[in-house]
Structure 1
């Protein structure tokens, strides 16, 4: 590595998803923690929201002796913090802060934000206030810690993730200009909103005006904090080339450096344990499906799945259902297919009738009613997945060679039906399918290949673009990742490509499948954090050099 890079003595990193498992950013931070902890040993401090008043967080272990003197002083200053370890590989230090006391000062905080940075908080709604108060509290934590434990001789970086942490970054920039600020947007709020509102994002990207679109889509406040943070921090970053383009067009600010998302493969079980876990996962997935469908699907069945957030169009869940519907009539399909949609919906409870069948250990030859879903939902009549399946008359009939099962709960090992963690379920798949329309990076395909599961994704996902770059051509099934070209308008072709790829997979010999799995694993090794962390060091360097120039 270039010797001239400035290296921080301390890094503070804040995110709504520190010790709080909500989405992809949790994976970014929790898998990267080990690599940073190895280099900066306890000089990397994560700051997250403290939600865990009544019950203990499953992701955090409090250690009152850590920074005991500072903790005492912080409490004297009225800061409600808990210090401990984030229970992920590397076990870095985490500070959880209670942000609720700041709601009563909300208006004066927003006034300060407007006067100093022209951030429009007038149109705030939903999670804007909550995120902003947390972000403000995170800024106060760093300010307090800095004055108590650090000095101007030390090189300090404050790294804020997403618009939710923008306010804290601006606060630090204003009050402690000797701290270098880095801001990462993982997806522009306005880009995601354009895509989620069924508007064509890519063909018109050059013509969209971010401020104007924010007004049209009622996103002024989130867009405003994101844009002003991007403009004012020392180093502005995002996670892929595709989102870098979005930032340039919608925030009118090119990024300083792209920080691609890596993976830490300590999550992947080793040889003998891997085979055992894969076998157990497949067995469980088939058992659940057979009990629900009244079938006898055996281990020759091809198990495929899609997963991620419940963004029906953005994550390509609509195309997945469409492709499975077309596959039903595909003459080239040589094996039965069991397709899972593993996307958290508005879950009511696990199905009692399904639980009873699973507990009985018997086999059944009649399906349960609504044999498309494993958990009852609060909004069965308005659920997008179930409605699309109903529209296409996809009822998992006995004669259908493709069965689609919606598993709408978080897989934490305690969902009441599958009772396996998400990674254990990924392990059991033959093929994973993520046909995203809007996907700044795409952890789901990266996780799949790390577990040796070949996958299908698109070149509208940052990961898909990166894979194409690595291959030097458009990824094919034999490369371990099939990258489908996706545009604003080729939904139907994408569905056909998926259908054809699954049919092609069903004709492959064991040797060909094994080669495919090996290729997937090989690609995943190129996306480990040890390969990608250098971009972070570059971002820290850019930010620290700005501080030097300022002082």
Structure 2
């Protein structure tokens, strides 16, 4: 397997003569996790490559409107290629991506060549044995886009545009259709292809409880046909085999590539973040306290209507991501929380853990009771603030005008109206109904796996439970009426992120925790967790990133590991938790793109050393 820790020394002088383009479906088009990879890496790439770097993506007017700014400066080779391609009758948009680094981008409209789609799809079948159905719009878009990318890159290297070496780095199968066509035409372009997750691997992992055990015996064509993804898988395989350099993001995904794509990756390209964007020098502890207070407000509104608990001794845990119950480790997390709840009660630990599940599921509306409770609590707050002002004013007047040094009866300073309103508000708000475990009305309430586990385990926010659950089936944003926080602020306000994934080619969520100084749990079946396990050995706990060992381990063993870690965590003192957050924040620089860029340089140098044919 590839040794990521000790990559071979390479001569990067050759890179100074080259032009580099990255092609991704998520350029100016936020639809998935690859958007984070590309968008956060741009600034680091611009620092190294400058005017020799640009990106190519699809043009969709609605998404481009917020992220793309056209330019009329066509002096670069990329601009000259744009003009030439327009003269050939193609729709090409050229400008800057409005992200850190402000890179040049070329956006190509797939729909602009739909009148030639039959011809393009026939060539894909005749030349590369890749059939495609007629009724799949995403496939049609990606195939049309692949054709446009091939045309643009061919124009870029044509006489009069540039004679410099060109490296084209393709991300994921959605842009892979251009690769076999470029290789067939022997275009003088060095091609790097990165699969961030094999398409077939994701489908198999969601449907096969023994995915890793059965990986070596998978019949890729049979399974691709079974899941109705044959065309996409064939494109992915053609791209992997057609690239001069084939790469993936982790050792975990590299194993999939060997058996599902039949090619060993040449290099690993781990994902990172622009850590500077998250850095709050000397402020991250203060930000934690600030946003924790916001979460306190939600928790009081959600739970205190039924019963109170001590917020000074409450810990906030969370998990987030796509709703993939098993792949994301929701099953392990829930079982560990149920065991943690029991162990905390048995040990007499008085702390409270509030666990947030933040994911996306179909719902009809926010639970009316949840909204009403929060609104009534806000009314109580406003009543209390009015009483506070009234008492303050009258107490000051009393102190200034009275020679009696004793503290008066504060109740005498509150009007009967406000006393009555205070009492009525509390009587209307308080209830014996248990706090809801889910904040929204789910469309598939009775079949939801998270809810069914909570019901069967009776982890339903009883007053005596030390672990409380808040299942929020929508992503958190600043406009969220329940929290009033964006996702990054919510993460900063929490104490621990829990992501013990069964299948996760990389996994940005724990990395985003670390960047914000929040400890996190991951697993060695996640690319990020595998990266940590290979680099940190036994240091992960001290640095606040704990890796659950799930490879070749049973479900029960994974649950036991997680339960033990969570039980140890809840027994930490506040000082120990602060120290842990300091360690996490200090370690985050390791995952900055500036430090991970060397792996990409290695891939590009290796590509330049390959023959074109």
* TM-score computed with the length of structure 2 as normaliser: 0.82
Aligned to 2:411: none
Q: How far apart are residue 203 of structure 1 and its match?
A: 1.9
C-alpha separation between the residues in 2 aligned to 1:446 and 1:436? Answer: 14
Q: In the TM superposition, what whole-angstrom CA distance separates every residue of 1:298-326 from its partner, at most 9, and x where no partner exists?
A: 14211001112222211112222222222
Structure 1 unaligned regions, length at least 5: none
State how 1:279-428 maps to structure 2 within 5 Å: 279-293=289-303, 294=305, 295-297=307-309, 298-330=311-343, 331-332=346-347, 333-351=349-367, 353-360=369-376, 361=378, 362=380, 364-366=429-431, 371-428=436-493
Larger Rg over CA atoms? 2
Residue 23 of structure 1 and its aligned partner are, at CA, apart by: 2.8
The question of whether the paired residues in 1 share the 8 Å contact of 2:518 and 2:581 is answered with yes
Normalising by structure 1, we get a TM-score of: 0.91
* Residue ranges of structure 2 left out of the alignment (5+ in a row): 1-8, 382-428
Out of 201, 211, 217, the position equivalent to 2:227 is 217
Residues 1:284 and 1:352: Cα distance change in structure 2 (over 3 Å): farther
| Aligned-partner Cα distance in 2 for 1:250–1:106 | 29
Q: Deviation digits for residues 131-156 of structure 1, max 9, x if unmatched? A: 333333333343445549732x2111
Structure 2 partner of 1:105: 116
Cα displacement string for residues 83-109 of structure 1 (whole angstroms, at most 9, x for unaligned residues) = 333233222222333212333433322
**Residue 5 (structure 2) aligns with:** none
Q: CA deviation at 1:187?
A: 0.8
Question: 2:29·2:64 contact (CA, 8 Å) conserved in 1?
Answer: no
RMSD over equivalenced CA pairs, Å: 2.7
**Superposition pairs of residues 1-400 of structure 1, within 5 angstroms:** 2-3=10-11, 6-7=14-15, 9-53=18-62, 57-58=65-66, 60-67=67-74, 73-122=84-133, 125=136, 127-147=138-158, 150-151=161-162, 153-175=163-185, 177-271=187-281, 273-293=283-303, 294=305, 295-297=307-309, 298-330=311-343, 331-332=346-347, 333-351=349-367, 353-360=369-376, 361=378, 362=380, 364-366=429-431, 371-400=436-465
- Cα distance in 2 for partners of 1:98, 1:538 equals 32
Name whichever structure is richer in helix by fraction: 2
Match of 1:471 among 536, 539, 543: 536
**Which deviates the most, 281-290 or 126-135?**
126-135
Q: How many residues align?
A: 545
What is the DSSP-based 3-state SS (H/G/I as helix, E as strand, rest coil) of the residue aligned with 2:272? Answer: coil
Deviation at 1:263, TM superposition (A): 1.8
State the distance in 1 between where 2:327 and 2:194 align.
21
CA distance in 2, matches of 1:140, 1:299: 62
Q: Distance in 2 between matches of 1:303 and 1:182?
A: 42
Q: What's the CA shift string for 1:433-456, capped at 9, x where partnerless?
A: 001000111211111112111111
Moved more, 116-125 or 442-451: 116-125
